[in-house]
Amino acid sequence: MISIKNKYDFDCDVLIVGGGPAGSGLAYHLSKAGTKVIVVEAATFPRDKVCGDGISPIALAELHAMGITDTDRFKRANEISQVGLFIKNDKVVVNLSKPDHLPHHARIIPRLELDSWIYEAAKEVGTRFLEDTRFCRYQITDLGVITFLKTGSRHFAVSSKIIIGADGSSSGVARQLHGVKSSDQFQLLGLRAYYEEVSGPNNRVDIFFSKESFPGIYWMFPKGEKGANIGMAMVSATLPQKPAHVKQLLQRHIENNEDIAERIGAGKLQGKILGWPITFFNAGSILTDNRILLVGDAAGLINPLSGDGIQYALLSARWASEVVIQSVALNDFSAGQLKAYRTKVDKELAYDFAFSNFLVQFARNKSLSAVWMEIISTLIARAKVDKPYADTIAGIFEGTYPSYKALNAEFIAKSLLQGGIRGFESMLSMAQNPGSVLATGNHIVQSAGQFLNEINSTSNEQAKWLGALLNRGLSVAGHTINHLINTRTANK
């Protein structure tokens, strides 16, 4: 018996919603392989996005493979070879070590430029862009996907074999897939301000830690010859209280931090301070289903420690392209076929993100901020005298090394040793100044009393926090055991 199937004319093989680094990067790989791709973009290129603008060496390796780093305009971008870590009255400047397999040191590239470069590369290999077009909803059928779009007052639909959400942390595609908004337990708040006529080295990024904004960081990234991107990212949901108005925190930091004030000098704010939500990775989120897949920020592929999403946007774009190209060849866009993408994401990122999420959950309790400030002070003190140790810390914030690198025995031993040295120095100082012993004792008693009062008055929140911490700790333990087993197996 002969089975006859009706031929269906699709507008494209793959419809991608969102033309940022993930969307345009994926479109580049697919179009280069001969896949018919349409990208839907709400704005018109060139367009800006609020971001820290830091592009890690791993992200640059992806751009290098696309031919983007061979241009003169890329070579004019600020090359970053140093990172400054600042806390209270202490700081260390680390010379960054670039792994041999990566072609470039980190760069600072404004999103206005970066996104346009990737967009142009995708167009050159045949991608079609529908700009100034908004996603409304999608409908999956037995034959394919119908996506409903809007340009101005005109509504229309596009048919494809698969839809891919690459439309950022507030992804409409992800929201329809999940059926709910992302929990604020997996959200950062980001702010960015551009300044001109600032001083200081244009090959160094500075990271600032402050008890007031913790868990979170401030940054100052050089932009061009005399510009800077100054911003912050912090955890959205903290206890025992929500964070203060983040714009006020950034403004006070810029006004009151001596290192920042020295570099800004007579520099002026260009435009407004802009903010954006950043949804980081939730291991329980769905990334694929029948004829649908999420990449980049839409998939929550953001490191909560650094707030970096560009690196994971470009990596996930390549990983997704490998799976989708095979799906096109097999004409199979089922959930089972697309699951290979989720498997790749978990293999490459799950351990790193699990450890980062654990640290963020621990730091979410602002009752422990003083403890964290002491820990970070200890890390910075050790980094001053130990180059390999400093490389690990800087590499984690730069995105070159996974965060679980800090779990190795040598790093932990050095941290404990430095903690002992700081404790001995404190005791020696008190011995030389007996009057400080009483003041220190009073401070400890007051801090302990305040901590106990906060624990007692927010017992329900504290119990939920502890439960989530234990849950994420178990996840890290599981990944650690698997990592050790796989490492031993590979070494046999």
pLDDT tens digits, 373-390: 888 888 888 898 898 888
Question: Count of domains in the chain?
Answer: 3
Is residue 6 assigned to a domain? no
Q: What is the dihedral of CA 202, 205, 210, 214, to 10 degrees?
A: 140
CA distance 40 to 167: 9
Say whether both 136 and 226 belong to one domain.
Answer: no
Instruction: For residues 330 and 375, state if they share a domain.
Output: no
Q: Is 398 in the same domain as 470?
A: yes
- Residue 467 has a pLDDT of 87
**Considering the domain boundaries, does residue 58 fall inside one?**
no
In eight-state DSSP terms, residue 99 is P
Residue 449's pLDDT is what? 54
The pLDDT value given to residue 12: 97
Let me know: does 283 contact 350? Beta carbons within 8 Å: yes
CATH number for 268: 3.30.9.10
Whether residue 92 lies inside any domain: the answer is no
Residues paired with residue 145 on neighbouring β-strands, in sequence order: 140, 160
Query: Residue 434's domain spans which residues?
Result: 363-491
**pLDDT value at position 433?**
57
In this prediction, residue 466 carries a pLDDT of: 83
Contacts of 360 (CB under 8 A, 6+ apart): 215, 235, 280, 304, 305
Are 456 and 481 in a shared domain?
yes
pLDDT of residue 320: 98
- Residues ≥6 apart with Cβ < 8 Å to 30: 13, 14, 37, 127, 321, 324, 325
189 and 225 belong to one structural domain: yes
Task: Give me the phi and psi of 3, to 5 degrees please.
Answer: -100, 125
Model confidence, pTM: 0.89
The pLDDT value given to residue 135: 98
Whether 160 and 219 map to the same domain: the answer is: no
Centre a 10 Å sphere on the Cβ of residue 125 and count the other Cβ atoms it contains: 16
Q: Same structural domain for residues 294 and 441?
A: no
- What is the pLDDT at residue 408? 77
The rounded average pLDDT for each run of 10 residues, N- to C-terminus, in the chain (492 residues) is 59 98 98 98 94 92 95 92 88 85 91 97 98 97 96 96 96 93 80 91 91 84 92 83 74 86 86 88 92 97 88 97 98 97 95 88 82 86 89 83 78 77 53 48 48 65 83 85 76 66
| CATH code where residue 335 lies | 3.50.50.60
Q: Is residue 40 part of a domain?
A: yes
Same domain, 171 and 297: yes
Residue 443 pLDDT: 44
Q: What is the pLDDT of residue 134?
A: 97
So what's the pLDDT on residue 479?
Answer: 84
